Amino acid sequence: TTETTTTTPLLDRRKLGAAIFANSSKRKLLNQITHPRILYVMLKQVVWGTYFSNKDIVVCDVPLLYEGPLFLRWIFGLTICVACEEQLQRKRLQQRNPDLSLQECQERIASQIPTAQKVKWANFVIFNNTSSMEDLEEQVEQIREEIMHRIYGVGLSLLQLLIIIGGSVPVAVLSKLYSMKYEASNSSSSSTTTTT
């Protein structure tokens, strides 16, 4: 609508966010409009990475993996949840978006499944409660090694074995932070790739 656009044809993300995070029916409608296209682009990248690349791991950043359609969870062999305490999550959200009120931050966090539940469902968890990049890098490397062990060793379920084709396994990642960090570390490793 004209209420959520500026004088240029770009979307005013702040106005749109204020409208949808305070109203679950508007948020659901927006998701119905945008998610099919987003899924199409993501699945195209997963298929390309799995079948046509020479990489071992295909990583997707899926912030709403558990809030999205059920079939989405069956696509990925493994899931990684990057988690932090709710108070820290709110603080980081406010730092990233200083124009958001405390109420708007809480609405955005409340619109998703609680992190504690995502932690229970994930195969791996990265706890990002500190600002130490060394600690984060160490956790990422441990998980990368474990995933490589599962691909080339033991520990895969039948479903995960069926998904592995051409030496690749899709992995869902529940945090943009991990995805960005993974891209940075990817430049020094030739065995992994990130699709977003």
Q: What are phi and psi of 72, to 5 degrees?
A: -60, -35
pLDDT reported for residue 125:
92
Percentage of the chain lying above the pLDDT 70 cut: 72
pLDDT reported for residue 153:
66
User: pLDDT tens digit string along 39-90?
Assistant: 889 888 888 887 888 777 788 888 888 887 777 777 787 889 989 888 898 9
pLDDT reported for residue 117:
92
Q: What is the mean pLDDT of residues 159-186?
A: 47
The two tokens of residue 78 are 């493994």
- Residue 165: pLDDT over 60: no
This prediction has a pTM of: 0.67
Angle between helices 176-186 and 133-152 (to 10 degrees): 80
- Mean per-residue pLDDT of the chain: 75
- Residue 105: pLDDT over 70: yes
Greater pLDDT, 53 or 37: 37
Q: What is the mean pLDDT of residues 134-138?
A: 89
pLDDT reported for residue 190:
37
Residue type, 86: E
Helical ranges in 66-175 per DSSP H: 70-75, 86-96, 102-110, 115-121, 133-152, 158-163
Do 196 and 49 meet the contact criterion of CB atoms below 8 Å apart? no
User: pLDDT tens digit string along 112-127?
Assistant: 889 999 999 999 999 8
pLDDT reported for residue 184:
47
Q: Give the count of alpha carbons within 13 A of 3, CB side only.
A: 6
Give 150's contacts (C-beta < 8 A, 6+ positions apart).
78, 156, 160, 169
